[in-house]
Structure 1
């Protein structure tokens, strides 16, 4: 925190929070001197405190942090540790001009994080009973707070830590502040296009044209020192020379001109910038731009992006340089690939679907996928969220935010770069850090995000999510007028993990009365080719009425008799229906409220994704289990003793490794023959946190590449999903298997808990893990420890 970090206040304004230094003395003294008599009385218990210079020096010499707006100090919080205790006395003061904007709460959150890193676990404070505002700040923080009663001065005691309630309060405060700050990005009252060009082929001119064609409801400005007007919009030579204020500036000037434009915007009071220009990252220009937006408190989209969209009727904003203005719809998109965003815009328009919002994040200096997850959660214009992200700045926050949004709205992600060559391309494209494919999939899967690989796949899934209800399960019947299509459809369903149920006797009897004698009444249902569209539709209706059926894939081939799909119509409150018209040119097309695909494989893959979402929603939150028998004190002493003797870290001895596992209730046994051998490995990633891998062990592990990955902290459901994700899971634990599945799940949870509670443990390798009817134990263990500073992944910061 020495260099400072940008964070948002409740109203969306940006401040810099950093440790106080000796050179801040004059600023601290000035803040104390600016307090009126009432605030001085509440802070110092007297309206006329003596030696303000001494009190200011104490704030700096203790552990103190300040909130700065530009160069102005607007609030401070500091503590002094109590002697011989893990407690500290805390004090807080905020400039009256910004009180009730969340400055005090933000400072306390950062002070809590700093205290925990220094081994402080309790704050104490003395507050006047009449200081109701300060009492509310303490009590609303979200941490256990005890306030003494019975006199003019109240004792306040706050227990620090990371209970779920505190994290929830932090996240809610951050969500409200973030949404408030994004208003000037996605719903600005005024926009200036800086670099609007006179040539028809210029990016700036295309952006201004789309802004006007979208029917933007605010005030549009053009900035170009070499023109008086563009597309009918008067031009000014700079943002600061405009007669009116500007909330959002869209900047598309040469890279070397960007810092000057950003500084001009800052001086003019611009709140947000969409930086279209590329070529800044990994150059001195990047540092200068980051410095300027932090100094002036500007939210930044990009650089190297293609704009933002908000099609809400009250805004109608389009600052992209796409071929045409975006079509209005209910789908929100955040993308680090401009090409993907443009392709998706065009493809959705061809289906009659459109965008609610789109943010092209580019190199993602500031506004990211996490920001949009917060925006969409409260946005009544968005029904589905789509993500194309090549990097993750804060995966732990992403997981919590995506999980919360996915409980309310479907979230779809493009898998992105996984092969080494693709990851190198992503790094060159947006400076993205390479993320292992298994880790990214685990992040998405645990958060309830549906993953696809191509624009074609995402389009097919969005069509189904937009037009059809979710299936209540995975039982699917394939209905077709062509035997080959019926067989291929059934195979595709099985390949995608769907279940092909038998039709009830009643349904079969009804179908036989509807169909020719040579029709094949089963699953798949081959109606034969010589039937009318009405008969085909009646068959689908009868199958959907079967209580043992969750969904239907209706595959048709037009014949001389007619198009069998012509009679299909989406029915409200009905079960899920996906159609397939073999030979159709478009990969997916609308058909009377039903998505119609060109191939049964694609329809089956989409149906599997819909079923996956149903299962995830039914699984519930899956909170962290309360694991008994953990001796954290002994584990911490054991690791601390090793690091004292080996400051740079290293591998624990076999005995110490086994003792550490014992502290977490994991048994280590000698080699046992006849048990099933697996392997479990936990590794702590600097960005993603604990990563737990389950795989086959022994000869099977050497021959078969079968493993699954989960991200900590693991819930009970996450551990079960790790087991289910093994391709060999059904063979190992299905049917009449005697293997103790629950014991394996418990071992996975305890391995994860080691790294969660003892962050110095960076690698736990259990190979083999013996699983039998009697339980699960480790056959051998290797543990790597390294010194690691305490890190707060949930602190409010940009």
Structure 2
């Protein structure tokens, strides 16, 4: 690529503008390691020179089209002293062995025309092939869009195939031509569906690979506290972690600086090496377990850089949960780790473990691991991890992998979901979340995972508004139902507590997905079957006539025949088996009959049997190989497969403490199966959208630190860019102006007050409708001026225009569509029918963009007043497609422009054909969205 054009900075006198700290980001690269991206500064002169001189002659030629051993002083100034608007450069940096920053990649652009810039890249020879070029392109493109650049051009030598591939594979609209031996590439920076998907796919692969690196270490270093007190919390945690690994692990372990007391507690087993300092540890090391005191952790992480460590598990308290100083320390630890290519689990982590073909990897504090299985579990705080693992072990639920993220300063549930997507040993994902730091990303990843594997989530609170100490989460003012709606859109199964989460998980893990919601019942008595039937109706299931009562006074043949009738082909979709013997104990024959029928038929089954809870031998049966090959039953846990061999599979009917628990879990699984197999629609995109035009309107009114309400004409202009037509209304002072406006707009008209308290309030005299002629209009103006003067002080001022005239819309149903930009969730779109009753009762549906056609259809139909849109009491049906189209366009506008802090279309009158937007309001403010169009780790 050619060198950037000269600018006023070349003389070395110009000073750079304000440093755009918001462009800084940590990213996961394609090999699963991390790097830090930030704007270049004048202080980077020496680092940039070192980067340049370390490049090969070929790389230098590819970048500058000429040999250049060193950058001149003029070049260094030109490349490092920038205005961060017309001339922008980002560098990727990593930590060198001595702790200093090392530049490993540079991306820059220089404006060459309005809204157009020339872009150039240079990646260190030793770091090529790690995805740095694509990551830098995403971030430099995002920065360019922020400053109004819509197109990049780049000049590339034909033999520079790697750089041409970065442009070609980014997903943007590109064109290229060859002139005089140079390839000129033109890139349209407007995001496309393909460019978004490319970013999502790259993000998925990189973050999944980073977790693979954490779960598959070959060597581990443990850094315990340096004090001599073996009874301190950190020392006891270190001893537990080392002991657990020695019992279950199969990798080499080195312990640094262990005190005599700690050595005495651990002993001196074969395979464990003790060293005095980190300088004595031999590279490479894959994973570090840091149980040091918080004051020593940062220095420890810095020292780990030279060892090539891929991940750090930080256990113990004393970080963000202690206050501002702890939070600052936590952030610096993460920043240091990312700059050195490491992911961080914690601080405050209970550790992690995973089962691999070659053995168990255990870097947790758990004294006993649960059995092997197909369930992946993510948990945040260490105390809850103890509870969850104890419950899992007690129930016998098999686990494939587990991570406790503590304060989840870096590794989060999003990373685990990315990993589980491709992990063949995991069939079910369970997450205990105390907070969600990036709901938009969570929703995006969870929806993708839920399409292939069930995701069961329990949150610390129903709304997500309560955030534990230590979790750095943006505040939210989103309605409390927003989190629930986000889960629904994503296909996430929400549980009320950990008990219910595991109720659902054990069913997912050991029974096939239901094909419907018809319930058959096998019960030990008629009263028990009635209890099940009532619970099933409450859970949204349909009770069939196939109910078998297994009597203690009946013969075994009679009871088996009754059970077989329930499991007959086509009789039902799922079965609930409940039995409480009158004389107590557990009826082994009942359990065996139900388990065998469930395995034989492949019918999803749950049981509530006295004395049984969890996954137990009494309700376990082997499935013959020929039946297992039909795919009607879930794959066994690894241990079961090893025991049973290839000849058979085992099927376990999960047992529950109460019939209600069993039915509730079954209802959740049925709802998930319905969601998974339904049409999920297509992403909302509109070919007639003018993103650049909307951006121009927004930019004219966006002021840093201030929210601005757009004038009516600018509101209409902005919405028109997204195909939304707002009906014109004319402000008037008196009857003469009202009549003139009516002639201009066309009769009949509506007369409205502009006062906030009277807008849309016909019941308070603020609106007069269906005015057919001049005489009626003059009378209405006079009456409103007389009756509303107490409500509208402006009526006392002759120059004011407190009324407005608007052409009458066709008769229809009045609705309201709103969008609000939330600091945590981003845009939240809502829909409801207008009116006090609807507002007071909260009959509103919510959606978190990006939405699909199915999401929008659900929003319209999920409000309780929705029947009014579909022919209620003989009225003609309204044009539901028109209102769905409006919601979709509002969703796309809000998603595209985080500066739009609030948007309201009210009222929207939906007629038999079409929807008329009679009034609209928009306010804008500088963008502050968490999840943008670039890959980045948590701030």
TM bracket (short chain): 0.7 to 0.9
The yes-or-no answer on 1:45 pairing with 2:65 is yes
Structure 1, residues 523-543: CA drift from partner, whole Å, max 9, x if none?
Answer: 656566654555444334333
Task: Return the alpha-carbon distance in structure 2 between the equivalents of residues 750 and 188 of structure 1.
Answer: 48
**Equivalent in 892, 897, 900 of residue 753 of structure 1:** 892
Other structure's SS at 1:7 match:
strand
- The residue correspondences of 1:176-255 to structure 2 (distance < 5 A) are 176-195=205-224, 198=230, 202-214=236-248, 216-227=249-260, 228=263, 230-232=266-268, 233-243=272-282, 245-255=284-294
Instruction: Indicate the residue corresponding to 2:437 in structure 1.
Output: 393
Using a 3 Å threshold, how does the CA distance of structure 1 residues 756 and 270 change in structure 2: closer, same or farther?
A: closer
Structure label with greater radius of gyration: 2
> Relative to structure 1, is the Cα distance of residues 770 and 339 closer, same or farther in structure 2, using a 3 angstrom cutoff?
farther
Q: Is the 8 A contact 1:309 1:318 kept in 2?
A: yes
* Partner residue of 1:68 out of 93, 101, 108: 93
**TM-score scaled by length of structure 2:** 0.75
**Alignment partner for residue 136 of structure 1, among 128, 145, 165?**
165
- Contact persistence 2:49–2:70 (CA under 8 A): no
CA drift of 1:559 comes to: 4.9
1:8 lines up with 2:28 in the alignment: yes
1:452 aligns with 2:470: no
What residue in structure 1 maps to residue 637 of structure 2? none
Question: Shift of residue 754 of structure 1?
Answer: 3.0
* Preserved contact between residue 388 and residue 498 of structure 2 (Cα < 8 Å): yes
Q: How far off its partner does 1:161 sit?
A: 2.3
CA–CA distance in 2 between the matches of 1:634 and 1:123? Answer: 19
**In the alignment, which of 638, 642, 656 is matched to residue 597 of structure 1?**
656
What does the per-residue CA deviation read over 1:682-717, in whole Å, with 9 as the maximum and x for residues that have no partner?
A: 111133221122345424325534333210121111
Report SS of the residue matched to 1:78. strand
Query: What SS does the corresponding residue of 2:155 show, helix, strand or coil?
Result: strand
After superposition, the Cα gap between the structure-2 partners of 1:553 and 1:296, relative to the gap in structure 1 and judged at 3 Å, is same
Distance verdict in 2 for CA 1:749–1:785, change over 3 Å: same
Q: Tell me whether 1:474 sits opposite 2:517 in the alignment.
A: yes
2:468 alignment counterpart:
427
Shift of 1:153: 1.7
* 3-state SS of paired residue (2:887): helix
1:694 aligns with 2:831: yes
Task: Say if 1:15 and 1:297, in contact at 8 Å, map to a contact too.
Answer: yes
Q: CA offsets per residue over residues 339-395 of structure 1, 9 Å max, x none?
A: 332222222223332221111111111111121111111212211111122223332
When residues 763 and 7 of structure 1 are mapped into structure 2, their CA distance, relative to the original with a 3 A threshold, is: same
> Which residue of 2 is the match for residue 709 of structure 1?
846
Match of 1:743 in 2: 882
- Closer, same or farther in 2 for the Cα pair 1:485/1:257, shift >3 Å? same
The secondary structure found in structure 2 opposite 1:617 is helix
Residues 140 and 499 of structure 1: CA distance in aligned 2, closer, same or farther (over 3 Å): same
Please give the residue correspondences for 1:336-485 in structure 2 after superposition, counting only pairs within 5 Å: 336-418=380-462, 423-424=465-466, 426-428=467-469, 430-433=471-474, 437-485=480-528
Give the 3-state SS of the residue equivalent to 2:334 in structure 1.
Answer: helix
Quote the residue 2:152 is aligned against: 123
How far the C-alpha of 1:460 sits from its partner, in A, is: 1.2
SS of the aligned residue for 1:316 comes to strand
- Matches of residues 323-334 of structure 1 in structure 2 within 5 Å? 323-334=367-378
Larger mean Cα displacement after TM superposition, 114-123 or 744-753: 744-753
Q: Separation in 2 of the partners of 1:703 and 1:137? A: 53
Q: Supply the distance in 1 between the matched residues of 2:930 and 2:364 (Cα, whole angstroms).
A: 38
- Which range moved further: 20-29 or 780-789? 780-789
Q: CA deviation at 1:776?
A: 4.8
Q: Cα offset for 1:16? A: 1.7
Match of 1:26 in 2: 46
How many angstroms does 1:257 deviate by?
2.7
- Say whether 1:293 aligns with 2:323: no
* Matches of 1:710 and 1:200, distance apart in 2: 49
Find the aligned partners of 1:355 and 1:611 in 2 and give their Cα distance.
23
Residue by residue, what CA displacement relative to the aligned partner does 1:300-334 show, whole Å, maximum 9, x if unpaired? Answer: 11001111111223251222222323432211111
Question: In the aligned structure 2, how far is the partner of 1:660 from the partner of 1:380?
Answer: 48
1:557 aligned residue (580, 585, 597): 580
Post-superposition Cα deviations, 1:579-624, rounded to whole Å, max 9, x if no partner, equal 3336446377672221232323222222222222222222344222
- Render the CA deviation track for 1:71-94: whole Å, top value 9, x for unaligned: 1112212111122x3221111222
In the alignment, which residue of structure 1 is the partner of 2:593?
Answer: 567
> How far apart in 1 are the matches of 2:541 and 2:574?
10
Residue 112 of structure 2 is matched in structure 1 by 82
| Offset, 1:764 | 2.2
Change over 3 Å in CA distance of 1:675–1:126 after alignment to 2: closer
SS in 2 for 1:500: strand
Distance 1:351 1:727, change over 3 A: farther
Aligned partner of 2:78 in structure 1 is 58
Counting matched residue pairs gives: 772
Contact kept, 8 Å, 1:478 with 1:553, in 2: the verdict is yes
Cα distance in 1 for residues equivalent to 2:47 and 2:881:
59
Distance across 2 between alignment mates of 1:540 and 1:461: 24
Q: Secondary structure at the match of 1:311?
A: strand
Counterpart among 536, 548, 559 of residue 493 in structure 1: 536
Q: Identify the residue that residue 6 of structure 2 maps to in structure 1.
A: none
Q: 1:529 to 1:679 in 2, by over 3 A?
A: farther
State whether residues 397 and 615 of structure 2, in contact with CA within 8 Å, keep that contact through their aligned partners in structure 1. no
Quote the RMSD (CA, aligned, Å): 3.4
Counterpart in the other structure of 1:518 = none
Deviation at 1:486, TM superposition (A): 2.2
Task: Provide the C-alpha distance between the structure 1 equivalents of 2:88 and 2:459, rounded to a whole number of angstroms.
Answer: 44
Partner in structure 1 of residue 177 of structure 2 = 148
- State the Cα distance separating 1:46 from its structure 2 match: 2.5
The 1:540–1:152 alpha-carbon spacing in structure 2 relative to 1, beyond 3 Å, is farther
- Residue 275 of structure 1 is aligned with which of 303, 314, 323? 314
- Alpha-carbon displacement from aligned partner over 1:399-426 (angstroms, at most 9, x marks no partner): 222122112211111132236xx954x4
Could you tell me which residue of structure 2 aligns to residue 682 of structure 1?
A: 819
> Residue in 1 aligned with 2:352?
308
Aligned to 1:442, the other structure's residue is in SS state helix
**In 2, Cα distance between equivalents of 1:628 and 1:243:** 58
In the alignment, is the contact (CA less than 8 A) between 2:395 and 2:614 conserved in 1?
no
Shift of 1:398: 2.0
- Say whether the 8 Å CA contact 2:614–2:654 is kept in structure 1: no
Partner of 1:510: none
The answer as to whether partners of 2:435 and 2:459 remain within 8 angstroms in 1 is no
Give the gaps of 5 or more residues in structure 2. 1-19, 96-100, 621-651, 728-748, 751-759, 763-768, 770-810
Output the CA distance in 2 between the equivalents of 1:152 and 1:406: 49
1:732 & 1:485 partners in 2: Cα distance? 42
What is the CA-CA distance between 1:465 and the residue it aligns to? 0.5
Shift of 1:274: 0.5
> Could you tell me how far 1:428 is from its partner in structure 2?
2.3
Following the alignment from structure 1 to structure 2, what is the Cα–Cα distance between the partners of residues 307 and 527?
Answer: 47
